[in-house]
Homo-oligomer: A and B are copies of this chain.
């Protein structure tokens, strides 16, 4: 009897959240083309099994006819030794695709359905196509609020959960979409200096020019082991760490890797994503920031209100104390966009530098004040003043420096990328609008967040007077190809609207 095994080979291709297997067209054991139309195969070695999309190879330098190649992701997931013997089999559909097909037909799914879907995704049994099918089927408003609760619970159960063994674990989260909005790096030191526990774990940017983890990484190590994280939080009452090492709600990251490139957004997915992550991080008291503005994720107050209700409903079911704050999302916050430039703005605020961006300072104080009022010993309405005292007295800066040292200080300077262009005002007048999406895209094209020093530095903001030819912002890049991409984008559109003073929409009564 023929032995149906192939030798495992690691293929140094990074297929980004999708398992890919490489089989030679002339494979001596399996008929590569017979598998291909069915798209997925099952690979087993020493009791470990994975599913992978099949690519057929005609080059022995990649895999020989006696080998099975696995992309980096697939290789790590299989967790077997290079050169070991592997078996290949036809893959069955993930069982939960049946529930996805029922959702496509408009059925309501149960907790068990969502649990089986999330488990299959967690085990990498879904291809990107299948994840897209699930996201589209549960997109827009096709999940009712009970289904959002079920999905949140299923995502929460799929990963690790941190336990801080304290009755009040504070956290904050912004739904995103506003460049420069680096408030966490101010809120955490203020709240921790007040003595409340605020163990903040953040993500890196996925499609935005910087996440909190990317900016914090300018100042300190953010990649901390769970043991070190606990030590720091116990001593400092707060941290600003990357959440990736803790495997909190891992399915969320996988869904986001499909959802973002598709550009589909759904309130239900967003709520489940945020709440499962925060509950997994052990939070008991959570402040959610929903910025509203014409180029923000949420564009109308009524949409912000319905999102707030959904957060509240699911939060109540899951027994987390949750408050929602609706903020002004009409333009970027602060001046810098990109990891280094945003870290610079944060440090200027902490240092009470008179040139620090006032909007970043004000917003952070409001958010910190709301969190401080979670403290049962704080009188309602006095949180803002407490936060301001902590910041003005330098105690917030001191706490930030303690956290930086505890996590591991990095040597840094705030010099932005060497390739630089000052973009000029196209006319004389008043800046009446700045497009969040476009400014984020320019910073992204310039290389942020991969190039820490790349990004955009705003010179003028909404309401400012400008003369034709005066600088409105600067682009910074480290890599010439990225600098060209950013310049080409600005040449198409600079993202600023300049008009008459009376056109500035001044009802900034959001806060």
- Give the B-binding residues of A (Cβ under 8 A): 1-2, 4, 11-16, 20, 22, 25, 29-31, 33-34, 36-40, 54-59, 61-62, 71-72, 89-90, 93, 97, 101, 104-106, 127-133, 135-137, 139-140, 206-207, 257-258, 260-264, 445, 447, 450-451, 479-482, 484-485
Contacts and interface: CB of A to CB of B under 8 A. Distances in A.
A466 B485 CA distance: 73
Contacts of A89: 485
A111 to B, nearest CB: 22
A13 B22 contact: yes
B262 A481 contact: no
16 contacts: A4-B484, A12-B59, A13-B57, A13-B59, A13-B62, A14-B57, A16-B37, A31-B447, A31-B451, A31-B479, A33-B450, A37-B206, A90-B485, A97-B263, A129-B132, A132-B133
A174 to B, nearest CB: 19
A97 B136 CA distance: 13
Nearest to A27: B481
Nearest to A485: B90
Number of copies: 2
Nearest to A137: B136
Given A11-B59, A59-B12, A104 B261 contact: no
B13 A55 contact: yes
Contacts of A140: 104-106
Nearest to A29: B481
A386 B97 CA distance: 48
A49 to B, nearest CB: 15
Given A61-B61, A133-B264, A481-B2, A447 B14 contact: no
User: Closest 10 interchain pairs by CB?
Assistant: A12-B59, A12-B58, A39-B261, A132-B132, A14-B56, A136-B136, A129-B132, A34-B450, A2-B480, A133-B136
A14 B54 CA distance: 9
A129 B445 CA distance: 23
B37 A262 contact: no
Nearest to A258: B129
Contacts of A101: 263-264
Contacts of A15: 55
A112 B140 CA distance: 23
Contacts of A262: 97, 129-130, 133
A52 to B, nearest CB: 13
Contacts of A132: 128-130, 132-133, 136
A423 to B, nearest CB: 19
Given A57-B14, A62-B12, A105-B140, A445 B484 contact: no
Contacts of A2: 480-481
Contacts of A206: 37
Contacts of A36: 14, 16
Given A31-B447, A61-B61, 11 more contacts: A15-B55, A16-B54, A40-B261, A90-B445, A101-B263, A127-B128, A127-B261, A130-B262, A133-B135, A133-B264, A136-B137
Contacts of A129: 128-129, 131-132, 258, 261-262
A247 B270 CA distance: 42
Contacts of A482: 31, 34
Contacts of A105: 140
Nearest to A88: B481
A136 B62 CA distance: 35
